[in-house]
Structure formats: C-alpha cells, structure tokens
Structure 1
Amino acid sequence: MSPHEHPVSGHHSVSHDHTAMDWALLASHLEREAELYTPLYEQAAAWLGELLTEGTGTGPGGVRRVLDIGSGPGVVSCLLARAFPAAEVVAVDGSAELLERARARADGLGLGDRVRTHLADFPDGLDALGGGDVIWSSKVLHHIGDQRQAVATLAGHLRPGGLLAVCEGGLPPRYLPRDLGIGRPGLQSRIDAAADEWFSTMREALPGFVHETEDWPAFLADAGLRTPSTRSFLLDLPAPLSADACAWVAATLSRAAEKCAERFDEEDRTTLARLTDPEDAAGISHRPDVFLLSVQTVHTARAQ
C-alpha cells in the first residue's frame, strides 16, 4: 500500500514509507477487498490465459513464472498460481507485513511450494527480481509520478513473448442507493466527486509527477510491447450483502470520511457518521439495501 492510497478503495503497497500507517488494520481491509473482488480477478486471469493461447498456443500451462507487482496480502498472487498451474508466482511488495500475510495464505492453500515473496520498492527496487512470462500489476502504477516510465520498467522484466497486464481504471465502486432515507439523496455521487478531487491532488504531489493523458495502451506501445488488448470486468454483488461485504463498505466509507472530510458539508459528514456507526439502525451493517457494483479495466500487451 502506498502512503497515498485512494480514500475509498484499498490499493497495494509500493513503498517502504510506512509513516502513520496502521498496517494490521489496513492489511485486513486490503485482504477483505481482494477476497470480495475474487470473482472479477478470476475472470481477468482466465482472459489472460485465453490471450496466451491465442498468441503462442501454449496457454496457461506454458507459463513458468508470474510476477505480481504490488501484491499486497497475496490474494491475487494465490489466484494467479491456480490460473497458471505450472508457474512459480512471485508476490512483490514494499511491505514486509503484507508479504507475511501472502506467505501464510499460500501455505494455507497448499501453494507454498509455488508462491514466494520478494520485498522490494517499485519502481526502483526491481533489479534483482528477474523476468516473468506474465507480469500482473493492479492499482499500483497510478501511485508512481511517471506512469509511462513505470510501464516501461515492468515491460523490461518480461521474458520474450511475455504478457504484461496492468489493472488501472474502470469505474469506482458503488454501494449506496440514491436515497438512503437519511441526509440528502445522492451521497454516493458526492463521495465519487470528492474522491476524484483527492486523487488528482494525490497524483500531483507524487515525486517526479508527469502530467499527461492516461492512455494505458499508448504507454504499453511506447514500452515496445505489441498486440495491445483491453477488457473490463464486472463485480456485481447484489443486496443484501454478506457481513464481510458490509464490513468492507463501512470501512471504505470511514476512510472516505476521514481523508475527504473537508470536501463534505456538515450534513454529509453526519450521514457518513451514521452509516459507519455499528450501533445506528441506519448504519451499513443493518441495511438490506447496500450492494457492491464495480468495474475494473485490464490493459495488456506482449513482449517481442
């Protein structure tokens, strides 16, 4: 997790700068989020296998090494190990705490012999990592000031014919009905707007920030990769949500309320406080109308 994680959605670690971060609490949030998004990630992994079959005819079984850059607690790393059954999967992250969770998860799933961890900063700490047949990076590159160069760095670790998959963009998660019965209707839209403003401010404050059009296929092409392909994947968890999903929504709203407090008016701050209060009858944990709908976009291209 970057020290600049998105206020309404968890992201993976890219740096050793852990200032003011509660990693025990944050790791649980990231783990729960990745578990909720597993159906989406499974679709994406299956698509990567299809692309490999179309491109080389080898398919998933021909993949020998997968790099998960910004792996967080390793939920997707283990999923990739199952999607590519002959591969060694390397979970790469800047947080030792999150990598401990990744190791424990892999061992618990019987994948400990194929999933290993590598502590490294991104993008400057990957020199010793070696190459991969598949490189996966989800919601990490937008924490790097020069995104175009970050893509080129990842492309430089691809083996010949290897596939780079960058999960960036899509649609922000939605989970609240328009009219909650408390506060002004349309809170979700105002949360999204506040997050967009926060995100722009975060990007501009990054070291080496480069302002340019976020054209991920162009970044891939500029890195010397070929046959770009983009596809979006839907996560649709209808109401009523499970207890775990409700807990994730409540935690996500708490983070938004904390990080974007100055962007909400007093009425919205009061509504957010009620929604995140487990004792309030109008709170997330007691509502039958909360859902989770999200879209994530994956951009891919191949090495020569």
Structure 2
Amino acid sequence: MSNDERPAPGHGPHDEGQIDWEVAGPLLERGAELHLPLHEQAAAWLRELLVGPGADGGQGVDRVLDVGSGPGVITCLLARAFPAAEVVAVDASAALLERAHARAGRLGLGDRVRTHLAELPDGLDALGGADLIWAARTLHHVGDQRAQVAALGAHLRPGGLLAVCEGGLTPRFLPRDIGIGRPGLQARIDAACEDWFCEMRAALPGTVDDIEDWPAFLADAGLRTPCTRSFLLDLPAPLSAAARACLQDTLTQGLDLYGDRLDEGDRTTLARLADPDDAAGIVRRPDAFLLSAQTVHTARAQ
C-alpha cells in the first residue's frame, strides 16, 4: 500500500497482485512530490495539534509512523516537521521502502528515518508505540476499516495522535469542453473510477459494508478530541511540464484500469489525452490545471 493509490489525478494505480512496484515507484514518488504543498499544510496542522501553535522543534514527539508510506515522500516531510522524532516508513512493498530509504539518505535524514516491511492489518506489533501515526489513503485498502482504525489507535502512546487521510474532493484537471470528444469527459471518468473503486473494495478479504464515517471510527476506537480539516492543492494553468507528466501517467493508468467502463468515444478521447505525442494530449495542453482537496481526520489517545 502507498500514499498515492486510487486511480484518479493525484493517485496511482492499485491492483496489488499485478503491480510491479519497481516500475510504479517513480510514478508514485513524482505524484507525491506534486502534492507536497498540500501535505506541508497538513503536517503544520498536525504539529500544532501535538505541540501547540508556534512551538519550535516538535518537543515531545519522539516517534512517528507513516503507515502505507510508499516511496517515502511524506515520511521525509514528517521527519522535517518533527525534527526530534524517529520516523518509520511502513509499507508492504520492499521496493517502495528501498526508495524511501534512498530518499531519506539524499535529504540527510537517514539517521532518523527507518523502514519496516509490513502488511495491514497485521505487522505493526513489533514497532511499539508512537506519538503520531499517519495513514494516508491506505485504510480504504483494508476490508474492515473501522477495525483497522482501532488497531492503529492501539499503537498510540498516551496523548498520541492518529491522523487518517481519507476523502476530500475528486481532483479537477480539465475544462468541461476540451475541444475533442463529448464535453463533460471528466465527470464520466470520475464515475468509471468510482465503479472500479467500489468493486475493488467489495473484493477485499473480510470487507465490511460500513458507513465511511471516519470521526465515528475514531470515536469507536476510544480516541478523543476528534478534529477534521481539508487541505487544498491549487495549481492553475498552465501547469509545469512535470505536473502535466504526472497527469499523463495517471490518465494512462486510468485507461488500463477502467477504460473499458467508458463508451468507445470516451475511450478514444482518454487515449488521446494520455498520448504524449498527440497535439491534444495532456502533456501539451496549456489549459490543464490541478485542483484537489484532501481531508485529514484526527483524534488523540487517552
């Protein structure tokens, strides 16, 4: 599991039995880097919750777990936000953890960032307690999300904070009329992605059909003072070449995963958008933008 998995702009693919993480790792890393401004806002908020407004140095935060860390982009961000803490990148992919380890070394954080290979819902017992547990777009790949929130909460030290990044707004990246195909393509892509996502959830082992009320999950886990906040990423047109390349990666993945859920005309349009050599493709479009919001739900151990 990783920090950027759902197949929509800003998320990568997720079909764990088929993914080659050696190949997917660079794509996930680029996507997470694109969203760093959003996560920097979230990290600053978490720091306020844990150590108070204007506090310096992250006093009292000695241990942070990034559960579903992927290639470690957010892991390293958390290490910078909490400079006194040991930060552990937890993921089920050894290839992604290797990228996290290498990234921490490049950024001079190798002495405080370590990795732990584990698959949810098991595999965390060897890590002990933490002052902050961050789980971003990870829990929706576990069948029983309510039970997993409780399991993560049990690893918090007294007063520690669990932060679950789930939900927000579906990213927007194209005008309604893009000059090719039928207007309104993005809405139909969103619907196809949602159908795929529902089927993915239904096929998970031990899946529970539950209302996705994250604050209620946190309360049921015995955690207190729940807080929810959303963070915006607003990259107006024209996008940088790097940002458009990330969108092109995601559209290509979307074509593979749920293109067969679109009609022939929309599949053709999506294929043109994903084609780096097409004049109407996303990497050549001056009208491409990225507007995204992610929601973070937090609560504290007793």
SS at match of 1:107: helix
Residues 62, 111 of structure 1: alpha-carbon distance in 2 compared, 3 angstrom cutoff: same
Cα-to-partner distance string for 1:141-193 (whole Å, 9 max, x where unaligned): 00000000010010010001000000000011111111110000111111111
Whether the 8 Å contact between 2:12 and 2:250 is mirrored in structure 1 is no
Tell me the distance in 1 between the aligned counterparts of 2:232 and 2:300: 24
> 1:204 is matched by which residue type in structure 2?
A
> 1:7 is matched by which residue type in structure 2?
P
Is 2:223 aligned against 1:222?
Answer: no
Report the counterpart of residue 155 of structure 1 in structure 2: 153
Whether the 8 Å contact between 1:176 and 1:289 is mirrored in structure 2 is yes
Aligned 1:34-73 pairs, distance under 5 A: 34-54=32-52, 60-73=58-71
Tell me the distance in 1 between the aligned counterparts of 2:57 and 2:80: 14
Residues 58, 12 of structure 1: alpha-carbon distance in 2 compared, 3 angstrom cutoff: farther
Alpha-carbon distance, 1:254 to partner:
1.0
Of 285, 288, 291, the residue aligned with 1:287 is 285
Q: Which runs of 5+ in 1 are unaligned?
A: none
Tell me the distance in 2 between the aligned counterparts of 1:11 and 1:163: 27
> 1:23 is matched by which residue type in structure 2?
W
SS at match of 1:180: coil
Tell me the distance in 2 between the aligned counterparts of 1:159 and 1:11: 32
Residues 221, 72 of structure 1: alpha-carbon distance in 2 compared, 3 angstrom cutoff: same
SS at match of 1:128: helix
> 1:199 is matched by which residue type in structure 2?
F
SS at match of 2:192: helix
Is 2:119 aligned against 1:121?
Answer: yes
Of 227, 237, 260, the residue aligned with 1:262 is 260
Residues 172, 12 of structure 1: alpha-carbon distance in 2 compared, 3 angstrom cutoff: same
Tell me the distance in 2 between the aligned counterparts of 1:282 and 1:264: 19
Whether the 8 Å contact between 2:101 and 2:110 is mirrored in structure 1 is yes
Tell me the distance in 2 between the aligned counterparts of 1:28 and 1:11: 11
Report the counterpart of residue 10 of structure 1 in structure 2: 11
Report the counterpart of residue 24 of structure 2 in structure 1: 26
Report the counterpart of residue 301 of structure 1 in structure 2: 299
How much is the aligned-residue C-alpha RMSD, in angstroms? 1.9
Residues 58, 149 of structure 1: alpha-carbon distance in 2 compared, 3 angstrom cutoff: farther
Report the counterpart of residue 202 of structure 2 in structure 1: 204
Tell me the distance in 2 between the aligned counterparts of 1:5 and 1:47: 23
Alpha-carbon distance, 1:7 to partner:
2.5
Alpha-carbon distance, 1:61 to partner:
2.2
Whether the 8 Å contact between 1:12 and 1:139 is mirrored in structure 2 is no
Alpha-carbon distance, 1:12 to partner:
9.3
SS at match of 2:277: coil
Is 2:170 aligned against 1:169?
Answer: no
**What is the percentage of aligned positions where both structures have the same residue?**
70
Report the counterpart of residue 104 of structure 2 in structure 1: 106
Residues 299, 290 of structure 1: alpha-carbon distance in 2 compared, 3 angstrom cutoff: same
Report the counterpart of residue 88 of structure 1 in structure 2: 86
Report the counterpart of residue 183 of structure 1 in structure 2: 181
Q: TM-score, length-normalised on structure 1? A: 0.94
The count of aligned residue pairs is: 299
Tell me the distance in 2 between the aligned counterparts of 1:20 and 1:49: 37
Whether the 8 Å contact between 2:71 and 2:100 is mirrored in structure 1 is yes
Tell me the distance in 2 between the aligned counterparts of 1:213 and 1:19: 27
Tell me the distance in 2 between the aligned counterparts of 1:262 and 1:298: 32
Tell me the distance in 2 between the aligned counterparts of 1:112 and 1:59: 18
Alpha-carbon distance, 1:53 to partner:
3.0
Tell me the distance in 2 between the aligned counterparts of 1:268 and 1:160: 52
Whether the 8 Å contact between 1:11 and 1:140 is mirrored in structure 2 is no
Instruction: Select between 217-226 and 278-287 the one with higher mean Cα deviation.
Output: 278-287
